[in-house]
Structure 1
Amino acid sequence: MVTMQRPNTPPVRRPAPRQRPKRRQPSFPRRIYDTIRGNVLLRNIVMALCLGIILYFIINLCLSIYTRHGQKFIVPTLIGHTVAEADAMAAKGELRLEVIDSLYMPKQKPGTILDQSPKPGMGVKSGRRVFLTVNASRPRTDIIPYVTGYSLRQAKNMLETKGFEIEKLVYRSDMATNNVLDQQYEGRSVTQGARTEAELGSGITLVVGVNHSSPLPRIPKVIGLTLREAKSRLWEVGLNVGRVRHDSGIDDADLDDARVYRQEPNQQSRTDYGGNISLWLTLDTQKIARSSKESDAAARRYAVDEEETESESAPEEETADER
């Protein structure tokens, strides 16, 4: 029996199984995008935010164009000019003028501008309104209020509310202090029901009662106040305004802005009812601040001296009472 021999053949190598490539993970922005895209609620929120941002920039752009953002014009000096002249000056900056009040200043020409707001030199947008106060051609008049029988404080407030002021306080002996006994205009008494008319800003003389057993009034501090404010403060406590002086260079137009930097007698001291307080005015703020500190220091020294005097006189009064 013949046996067949197999030829020496090399073993068959089977190919290795192919490995599937690893799937790449999506990037972080891609994952966010897929999450938003697959979620209806998130997609609507993002779309609303994007729309809001776009609208914000569009509205800002429109407002900048409409309001002329960044475009400023310097307000010219209109004080001292007539309204017609001011119109020509304001037309360069497309400013609108509006007269809101009128005063009567006898030393100024009728129709001239006395005050303006905004002040000269300020930067404003075109089309801005500039409010003016002009000088009236003749003074306005009104009926003087009847203040006899009222307290001095009430009478002062009633007169100032109507546009009048106190010309002088004249004190007369009475059982009550600072009670108005009579009021006079141009030397004649103003009676109830007389309906006496006078120019606004006119001064009314008040005859006021004083009980001589009442303590003397203390002089208030008026440094830093305007002349009008200082007058009102002094009238409240029963004092008159004496001589008024001001620095050189201050004219009638600047007088309303000037402030008191010195007063005599000084604050906190005592004087008789109806006494005169002299005032000095300036536009120098540093001078006002310096004088205010000096006045406060003098007032503190006066208060200490007054306390020492009262403490020394108290034992003497007790000894006299015992005797």
Structure 2
Amino acid sequence: MPLACFQCVDTLPIASKHAKGLHKQMKITNFVVNYQNSKKVSNNPFISFKENHPVLTNFVLVMVTLVACLYACYISLDIFTDHGNQTKVPDVRWKLIDQAIDILEDAGLNYTIDSIYNEDYAPGVVTDQSPNAGSSVKFARPILLTMNCLYPPQVEIPKDITDMAGTDGVTTLKTLGFRHVTTDTVPSEMQGLIIEVRVNGRSVEGGTKAALNSKIVVSIGDGSVDAIEFDPLGSQRDSLIKQKIKSGEFQIITDSLGNTHLVPRSKR
């Protein structure tokens, strides 16, 4: 056997021992490194808490994220809604509409106008506003102004007014908004029935429009005239006379002797 082979055989046990020693040394080194790393981790309280309480850690992280999002929304809301850019609503009630508009425009506010009619208030005066005076609103906010009409509205008198009973006709007119409604009585065979309607002294028919502040007089039949007195020539003549009386073209008067007469109604 060659000498080199004997030398290799002799060195095998030595190499094997050296490899075992090196492997053992590496295991010791790895153990020391792992121990040191674990010690470093245990020295970090957050990592230690996270490893020991993973569910609670995730819950805390979720809550922190939620609070951060809410705060971001709050800041964004102030920016997009122009928070803090507000003004006080001035008091413009009982001022003329032109003056009220000037005051609102000077305050940086817009306006919308609604109207009512009340003859107790001056024409064109602001009777109400919304929002109320002193309220805090954003600039350019429209303020609703309620204005009394410059002119009284025109309302139609019911077309069948002369077919109504006196009390019903008066109630209907007042419901429509006419405040100055009075009554008088005229001789007629039709007791309690409306014979004529006069607006500001002028006889009008149903369907006529009149201003709400007009003075209206409703003439109601008193039933003092006997129907027989109107029928000397028959029922046709009686029907015609009734129509004339009802339309206001004729009226019945009683003289000093108690006699009744059918005469044309004088124009007022």
In the superposition, the TM-score normalised over structure 2's length comes to 0.44
Larger gyration radius, structure 1 or structure 2: 2
